[in-house]
Amino acid sequence: MTTSTLVEPILRWYDEHARDLPWRRPDATPWSVLVSEFMLQQTPVARVLPVHEAWLARWPTPVALAAEPSGEAVRAWGRLGYPRRALRLHAAATAITEHHGGVVPDSYDDLLALPGVGDYTAAAVAAFAYGQRQVVLDTNVRRVLARTVTGTEFPARSVTRAERDLGAELLPADPPTAATWSVAVMELGALVCTADRPRCGGCPVTDACAWQQAGAPAYDGPPRPVQTYAGTDRQCRGRLLAVLRDTHGSVPKERLDAAWDDVPQRERALASLIADGLVAEQPDGRYALP
């Protein structure tokens, strides 16, 4: 498969089918892009959109967020899930304010040094906010490349050297085009080449897809993790946080006790929230956001 066989059709498809998302618009700030990348980790776009809009309205810059307590970030995070991301985003805003003059850095290395920013997020912000030529490998991109190029239904659990090399090989030489390619293949994975029930009939490269040419063989690698929520510590943590998010100030322990019946699980979840810095125990025995 040549680069043009894959890249050019996907770029044309993206021109016609790209969703109008606020962090992709020409007037989107690098801060908007960074906020979106934090929020989109393990959370669907539909749930992120209203929270992202409210977040940018309240905190249009990293400096604005850094000026408020981290607990306000947790409160505004609402029900997006995995609320430690809110603390990390607040920490990133603080670092941007203290070390970069309040401006989201454009250097991959500087981005990678921010709290809560890993390889993918650093590359994504450099590409999508600053139009740089970066290898951007999220779950959707990795799945598209696994199917179209290597002929496997799903990629390995962790990013491999071969995936990075392939991603670099496919990148167009022109930086702005490379940035568009990165978001285009990501969009294809989100809308067409999905994990479950992919819409291969609507794929612009289905005729060149190695997975399709092989008869779409079922995945036979290590078992893929299946996430559950009901009855888990995650759900319990969410219930306890919801009590605190909905209350300005502190609450007595009895309010938290009423949120979850299983006492050992509730105590374990509360202890983990305190350890993660998401809940603060007050000297008077009451509890509040940090």
First to last CA, the chain: 53
| C-alpha pair distances (Å), 246 with each of 220, 227, 259, 260 | 45, 27, 13, 16
Choose, from 8, 16, 37, 68, the residue flagged as catalytic. 37
Q: Tell me: the pLDDT tens digits for 133-158?
A: 999 999 999 999 999 999 999 999 89
List alpha helices for the chain, DSSP H: 3-17, 30-40, 45-58, 62-66, 70-77, 84-99, 108-112, 119-130, 139-145, 161-170, 175-191, 210-213, 233-245, 253-257, 263-275
**Residue at 252 is within a domain:** yes
Domain extent at residue 253? 233-288
**Residue at 248 is within a domain:** yes
**Structure tokens that stand for 265 in this block:** 């699980």
Q: In the chain, how many domains are there?
A: 1
Band (pLDDT 50/70/90 cuts) for residue 231 is confident
200 CB contacts (<8 Å, ≥6 apart)? 192, 193, 206, 209, 212, 216
**Residue at 128 is within a domain:** no
Rg (CA), the chain: 21
Q: Is 37 a catalytic residue?
A: yes
**Residue at 125 is within a domain:** no
- pLDDT mean across residues, the chain: 94
**Residue at 144 is within a domain:** no
**Residue at 280 is within a domain:** yes
**Residue at 251 is within a domain:** yes
- Give the model's pLDDT for residue 254: 95
Q: Tell me: the pLDDT tens digits for 86-123?
A: 999 999 999 999 999 999 999 999 999 999 999 999 99
**Residue at 264 is within a domain:** yes
CA-wise closest residue to 53 among 21, 81, 101: 21
- Give the model's pLDDT for residue 228: 79
- Give the model's pLDDT for residue 3: 62
What is the value of pTM for the model shown? 0.92
- Give the model's pLDDT for residue 223: 77
Q: Tell me: the pLDDT tens digits for 165-187?
A: 999 999 999 999 999 999 999 99
Q: How many percent of the chain have pLDDT more than 70?
A: 99
